A and B are shown apart, each in its own frame.
Chain A
Amino acid sequence: MILHPAVIANLLAAYISSGMVLYALFYGVQILRHWDIQSGHELQLVLERKTYLISTLLSYVFGLQLLSLFLFIFTADSLAPLFVGAMCAVGTLNVDPFGYPTLTLKICNFILAGLWLILNYVDNQGYDYPLIKKKYQLLAFVAPLIILEMILESAYFLGMKADVITSCCGSLFSSERVTGIGSEIASLPALPMMWFFYGAMSCTLLCGIVFYLKGLGGYLYAALSLLMFIISLVSIVSFISLYIYELPTHHCPFCIIMEEYCYIGYLLYLLLFGAVVSGLGVGALIPSRQVESLKFMLNGFIRKLALASIILYAAFTALVTYEIVSSSLVISYEVVY
């Protein structure tokens, strides 16, 4: 399994990211401990020069981190024919106990990496490194998670056995199954869940528009965008997938990335992840609005982030609505799957 090109690409990406993050963390800790912009000490000047290198390095590492989530899902999907019982990425992720923990961690790290890139961009706009401590505190938090992700990902890929009979998505995301989070989400009634999704999305978008126009409720929008991200993931399993597959019993969140469904899953997830990262970025940057060196740009940039998040969520909703409207599936109140 390790000789599969996609597995090699995943493992290489994980090892490169981890190595670079460890190197960056070494200087990051020094910056957190010794940074004093008022000082003319030799160490301070060395750290000022090093921070350029570290920032540039981490921009690429975290960019790679964003891509690696999609590469991981693609790999899991492309390995499915190699395992008995696997129909899509769900089965592949289930071949050993490390698949789903790796995926969960990759999702968390995607969001954190996105936030770091936003902080780094803003920090580079100020003349006095205004967010340097925040940036490296976030790095100190993310670095262990990236190392853990690398360990789990290695254990997952290296522990794959071709003779394992795995479960398919029909069994894991089934409303008839009694246990498991996938089944519990799949058991949620589709129509009420749809109204809940549209209601929550309307509130989120409204809050975002109010913040964009009047500058009020930034933290609320950040919290709602995170909540909306979770609701949207649940909605994909609960009812969106049904309309895409045009099957009232198929709830898989991974089959939608397949060619048969025009890879629409990639677009849906891309919109969703982009929306949550930019939405959370709004909340992360609001406390820095009073920083002198950022005053000239930060308010405008936060508004742009909010707008990006609103547009991405709106595009996600539009795409979901299009799938529902154009689907042959009709779900009535009487029959709830």
Chain B
Amino acid sequence: MIELMNVKKVFNAGNPSEFSALNSVNLFIEENQVTVLKGPSGSGKTTLLSIVGCMSRPTAGRVKLKGREITSLPERFLTDIRRKTFGFIFQQPNLIKGISVLDNVMLPAYPLGEKRSHLKVKAMKGLSQLNIGNKAASKVEWLSGGEAQRASIVRALINDPHIIIADEPTAHLDTKLSYRFMEIIEKFKAEGKTVIITSHDPLVYESSMVDRVVNLRDGQIEN
């Protein structure tokens, strides 16, 4: 489904502070599987994830999504792919303060022009499935850490993406909430979604629902 061919990423190229985050990474990620990118801090997990999710471009190499080469695409085409194909869950929930949970969840769908009433039903359904339906009208500042994380998951799913990308999703969750998060991931898998997670949390990469663990170190995949 996702194929990376000789992907390299160099930051500050040509400067004394030049840093090579990824070195000739070749990887094939299967559809409808949970793949975990595991490795120590600075190993290139987040960089790789951001390239797969079309959030940044590699310095060299190509990425194919469902057989279509995406690294050469002009920015406006990438925006469209990001919007429709990927759902992003970050380490921090990154919810926008001052507006309600429901508005936060619906926000990524606005550019697609879906009717607000349909969108509201979809958002409410997502919030109810993750047991925070009663918080829809609340401001995000009033949510606990776990609730905020679940709200960010509903937001990631609002455009019904095929691929869920999660960057260190359990880093700020306690054990109970981390298990709860993995249950949610299992549900995604059952729905036929492809999930890619970066983590160095054993609770994540040792989970039984994970199909594949890819070890990264110094910007390379370890055998």
| Chain A residues close to B by CB (< 8 Å) | 37, 40-42, 44-45, 48-49, 52, 124, 127-129
Contact = CB atoms under 8 A, between A and B. Distances in A.
A45 B59 contact: yes
Contacts of B74: 52, 124, 127, 129
Contacts of B75: 52
B60 A40 contact: yes
Interface in B85-115: none
A124 B74 CA distance: 8
B59 A128 contact: no
Contacts of B59: 42, 45
Contact of B73 (A42, A49, A124, A127): A127
Nearest to A39: B62
B57 A40 contact: no
B155 interface: no
B39 interface: no
A40 B61 contact: yes
B77 A45 contact: no
Contacts of B61: 40
A127 B76 CA distance: 9
Contacts of A45: 57-60, 71-72
A28 B61 CA distance: 22
A52 B75 CA distance: 9
Interface string B47-78: 00000000001111110000000011111010
Contact of B57 (A41, A49, A128): A49
Contacts of A49: 57
A230 B196 CA distance: 63
B8 interface: yes
Nearest to A126: B74
Contact of A42 (B5, B60, B72, B77): B60
Interface residues of B, number: 15
B6 interface: yes
B77 A127 contact: yes
B77 A40 contact: no
Report the 6 A-B pairs with minimum CB-CB distance, sorted nearest first: A40-B62, A42-B60, A40-B61, A127-B77, A127-B73, A48-B72
Contact of A128 (B58, B60, B62, B72): B72
Contacts of A129: 72, 74
B73 A40 contact: no
16 contacts: A37-B72, A40-B61, A40-B62, A40-B71, A42-B60, A44-B72, A45-B57, A45-B60, A45-B71, A45-B72, A49-B57, A52-B75, A127-B73, A127-B74, A128-B72, A129-B74
B37 to A, nearest CB: 21
B77 to A, nearest CB: 5
Nearest to A124: B74
A100 to B, nearest CB: 42
B55 to A, nearest CB: 15
A42 B57 contact: no
B160 to A, nearest CB: 23
A133 B73 CA distance: 16
A45 B60 CA distance: 6
A299 B62 CA distance: 31
Interface string B139-152: 00000000000000
A129 B72 CA distance: 9
Contacts of A128: 72
A5 to B, nearest CB: 39
Nearest to B6: A40
Contacts of B8: 42
A30 B36 CA distance: 40
A335 B62 CA distance: 75
Nearest to A51: B74
B64 to A, nearest CB: 10
A48 B60 CA distance: 11
Given A40-B71, A45-B72, 17 more contacts: A40-B5, A40-B60, A40-B61, A41-B60, A42-B8, A42-B59, A42-B60, A44-B72, A45-B57, A45-B58, A45-B59, A45-B71, A48-B72, A124-B74, A127-B73, A127-B74, A129-B74
Contacts of B72: 37, 44-45, 48, 128-129
A332 to B, nearest CB: 61
Contacts of B71: 40, 45
A37 B73 CA distance: 10
Nearest to A48: B72
A41 B58 CA distance: 10
Interface string B1-45: 000011010000000000000000000000000000000000000
A45 B73 CA distance: 11
A37 B74 CA distance: 12
B68 to A, nearest CB: 9
B22 to A, nearest CB: 13
B21 to A, nearest CB: 14
Contacts of A42: 8, 59-60
